[in-house]
Amino acid sequence: MRADARDNRARIMTAADDVFGRAPGASTDDVARLAGVGIATVFRHFPTKIELLEAVLTLRLERLRDRALELAGSDDPGKAFFEFFTQVVAESASKLAIAEALTASGATAGEEVRAVGHGMRAAFDDLLTAAQKAGAVRADAQFAEVYALLIGASRGATAAGLEPDVRDRMLGILYDGLKHS
Amino acid sequence: MRADARDNRARIMTAADDVFGRAPGASTDDVARLAGVGIATVFRHFPTKIELLEAVLTLRLERLRDRALELAGSDDPGKAFFEFFTQVVAESASKLAIAEALTASGATAGEEVRAVGHGMRAAFDDLLTAAQKAGAVRADAQFAEVYALLIGASRGATAAGLEPDVRDRMLGILYDGLKHS
């Protein structure tokens, strides 16, 4: 791919992340406008809206996975675990909007999205294990319920359209439960 | 309404609660079949699918509200609060399916659904206040974040399709957080 084509692709993805993250029902036209490219350029890179949505969702999950992998090397595994949990919940509204747009387009998550989602969960599991070894998270919590709490906190924050301070207090209660049994 | 008409209406609503609670995409035909009445009878009571869905969702919320009001008279306000919380989460999968079917039908919750939803939240708030006065729930938790946790736990349990034992462990962590700060 030539440098200007790569630039266009990156601009389209950044614009799509923004547009679909705010409004699942947005159109590819809105993306082209924000990216400052013609609609034909969008379709050259992403022949269907579904391909564009999948690319954007994959990018989101890759970034979260990379953040988890980066935090895994931290000196303070407890802090790293709770920092990642908080970031996932804070970003969930826009991430869920993209996932919702994909579902509304009649597509289920493709192979690539599922693979990177799996990688993200594995990295989160490593953060949990390290935080438990450090005594920062209760030892009796298993991955299944901690992951359910992550999904639940994300959806609760999104569904209720929570103000940041209510979200922080919600997470404070949850984190107290995760710290001591 | 004559007694046999009342019976039919009750049978249709019980069938609809079951059918739409399991499969949001189910049809009014499926409801008629399970209720053992003709499709014309269903339409006589509920001229549109939206009216039927709203009636079923209203019934669900009324039952939860009544349960909360009943528990409000308990000698053990802490037990009452956590019992209600657990019941809402356990029933959430089928309740959310009905709400989802309503949204998929292009309807937003009507006046009646919203009014009874408001009554349910008010009754839950009373349970929370009583549990806090009894020292069973931390005093610094405000209604907004506790309600967000209820919504989040319900959606987390539903989205992840949790096994009952994982759901119980998830709630155990959450309840520890709600008990002590």
pLDDT tens profile A145-167: 999 999 999 888 887 678 889 99
pLDDT of residue A1: 72
Amino acid at A118: H
Measured in degrees and rounded to the nearest 5, phi and psi for residue B107 equal: -105, 145
Over chain A, what is the mean pLDDT? 90
DSSP letter at A38 equals -
pLDDT of residue A162: 82
Q: List the single residue in B155, B166, B177 with the smallest CB-CB distance to A174.
A: B177
Q: Give yes or no for B153 touching A (CB within 8 A).
A: yes
Mutation choice for B interface testing from A154, A167, A170 by most B CBs within 10 A = A170
Q: Which residues in B lie closer than 8 A to residue A143 (C-beta atoms)?
A: none
Decide if pLDDT at A181 tops 80.
no
Fold of B1-47: Arc Repressor Mutant, subunit A (1.10.10)
pLDDT of residue B168: 93
Q: Coil, helix or strand for A166?
A: helix
pLDDT of residue A37: 95
Q: Coil, helix or strand for A45?
A: helix
Q: Give yes or no for A45 touching B (CB within 8 A).
A: no
pLDDT of residue A79: 97
By percentage, how much of chain B surpasses pLDDT 70?
98
CA distance B148 to A11: 36
pLDDT tens profile A98-145: 877 777 777 677 788 888 889 999 999 999 999 999 999 999 999 999
Q: Are B130 and B77 in contact (CB under 8 A)?
A: yes
Mutation choice for A interface testing from B174, B175, B180 by most A CBs within 10 A = B174
CA distance A102 to A116: 16
Q: Residue A96, by phi and psi: left (phi above 0), alpha (psi -120 to 50) or beta?
A: alpha
Which has more pLDDT, A106 or B80? B80
CA distance A67 to A87: 9
Find out if CATH 3.40.50.1010 is the number for domain A50-179: no
Contacts of B4 (CB under 8 A, 6+ apart): none
Which has more pLDDT, B41 or B91? B41
Q: Are A114 and A39 in contact (CB under 8 A)?
A: no
Q: Per-domain residue ranges for chain A?
A: 1-47, 50-179
Decide if pLDDT at B75 tops 70.
yes
Question: How many angstroms away from the CA of B5 is the closest CA of chain A?
Answer: 38
Identify the closest residue of chain A to B181 by CA–CA distance: A176
Structure-block tokens of residue B105: 């039908």
CA distance A4 to A10: 10
Q: Which residues in B lie closer than 8 A to residue A151 (C-beta atoms)?
A: 155-156, 159-160
Identify the closest residue of chain A to B160 by CA–CA distance: A148
Q: Which residues in B lie closer than 8 A to residue A142 (C-beta atoms)?
A: 166, 169
pLDDT tens profile B5-24: 888 999 999 999 999 888 88
CA distance A107 to A95: 16
Torsion of CA B121, A144, B78, B82, to 10 degrees: 40
Decide if pLDDT at A5 tops 90.
no
Identify the closest residue of chain B to A138 by CA–CA distance: B173
Q: Among B8-12, B65-69, B100-104, which is the least confidently predicted range? A: B100-104
By percentage, how much of chain B surpasses pLDDT 90?
60
Q: Do A176 and B174 touch (CB under 8 A)?
A: no
CB–CB contacts below 8 A, A to B: 110
ipTM > 0.90 for the complex: no
Decide if pLDDT at A74 tops 80.
yes
**Residue pointed to by tokens 């609060």:** B81
Decide if pLDDT at B161 tops 90.
no
Q: Give yes or no for B89 touching A (CB within 8 A).
A: no
Q: Give yes or no for B88 touching A (CB within 8 A).
A: no
Question: How many angstroms away from the CA of B86 is the closest CA of chain A?
Answer: 14
Amino acid at B134: A
| pLDDT-derived band at A95, boundaries 50, 70, 90 | confident
Q: Which residues in A lie closer than 8 A to residue B148 (C-beta atoms)?
A: 156-157, 160, 162, 166-167, 170
Sign of the torsion angle spanned by Cα atoms B145, B148, B153, B159: negative
Q: Which residues in B lie closer than 8 A to residue A172 (C-beta atoms)?
A: 145
pLDDT of residue A176: 95
Q: Give yes or no for A25 touching B (CB within 8 A).
A: no
CA distance A135 to A77: 9
Structure-block tokens of residue B145: 């974040």
